[in-house]
C-alpha cells in the first residue's frame, strides 16, 4: 500500500466528500457535466488515478441516472491517459458494503495499469509528492486540444 492510501485509511470524513467535492475541491475537477464530475483522486492507488462521481448522493449503482454522462467522462479519462502514453487502464465501479468500497456515495475509478498482469494496482508505490494542481492543469489542457485518432 502506498503512502497516500495509508493516510486515506486513517482519515475520518465528517461529511460525504463526494457531496462537497464541487464546493471544497473545485480546483481538482477536470471536467463536469450536468450530473457528474471527473476529478483526480487525492489518495491514488497509482499515479493519474481518476474518479467519476454523480453530483447527487447516490449509494447504489442501480439508482444512477444519466449514465451517458458517466460514460462520456470515462471516455474523457481515457483520452487523458492515451495522451499521457497510458494505453491500459481499469474502470471500476463498486456497489454495496462487501464490494470493497469505502464510501457509500457511488464513484467510478479509472485506474492506469502499469505493466502486464498488474492486478495489484492498488498497492502501486508513488515516488515523491503529488502535484495535484499541476496534473489537473495538464489534464484540462489535453482535453482542450485532444483529437481522437483511432489505430
Question: Which residues form the interface with Zn ion (CB under 5 A)?
Answer: 16, 18-19, 57, 105
Which sign, positive or negative, has the C-alpha torsion 20, 65, 31, 123?
A: positive
Q: What is the closest distance, in whole angstroms, from the C-beta atom of residue 41 to Zn ion in the complex?
A: 16
In terms of CB distance, is 4 or 21 closer to Zn ion? 21
In terms of CB distance, is 56 or 142 closer to Zn ion? 56
In terms of CB distance, is 16 or 29 closer to Zn ion? 16
Q: What is the closest distance, in whole angstroms, from the C-beta atom of residue 35 to Zn ion in the complex?
A: 13
Q: Are 48 and 86 in contact (CB under 8 A)?
A: yes
Q: Are 82 and 147 in contact (CB under 8 A)?
A: no
Q: What is the closest distance, in whole angstroms, from the C-beta atom of residue 57 to Zn ion in the complex?
A: 3
Taking Cα atoms as reference points, which of 37, 65, 61 lies closest to residue 51? 37
Q: What is the closest distance, in whole angstroms, from the C-beta atom of residue 22 to Zn ion in the complex?
A: 11
In terms of CB distance, is 105 or 138 closer to Zn ion? 105
Q: Are 23 and 146 in contact (CB under 8 A)?
A: no
Beta bridge partners of 29: 39
Amino acid at each position: 500500500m502506498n503512502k497516500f492510501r495509508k493516510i486515506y485509511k486513517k482519515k475520518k470524513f465528517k461529511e460525504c466528500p463526494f457531496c462537497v467535492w464541487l464546493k471544497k475541491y473545485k480546483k481538482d475537477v477536470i471536467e463536469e457535466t450536468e450530473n457528474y464530475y471527473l476529478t483526480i483522486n487525492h489518495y491514488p492507488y497509482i499515479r493519474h488515478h481518476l474518479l467519476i462521481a454523480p453530483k447527487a448522493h447516490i449509494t447504489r449503482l442501480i439508482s444512477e441516472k444519466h449514465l451517458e454522462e458517466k460514460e462520456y467522462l470515462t471516455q474523457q479519462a481515457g483520452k487523458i491517459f492515451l495522451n499521457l502514453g497510458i494505453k491500459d487502464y481499469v474502470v471500476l465501479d463498486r456497489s454495496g458494503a462487501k464490494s470493497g468500497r469505502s464510501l457509500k456515495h457511488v464513484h467510478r475509478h479509472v485506474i492506469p495499469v502499469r505493466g502486464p498482469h498488474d492486478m495489484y494496482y492498488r498497492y502501486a508505490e508513488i515516488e515523491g509528492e503529488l502535484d495535484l494542481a499541476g496534473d489537473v492543469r495538464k489534464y484540462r489542457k489535453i482535453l482542450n486540444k485532444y483529437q481522437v485518432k483511432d489505430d
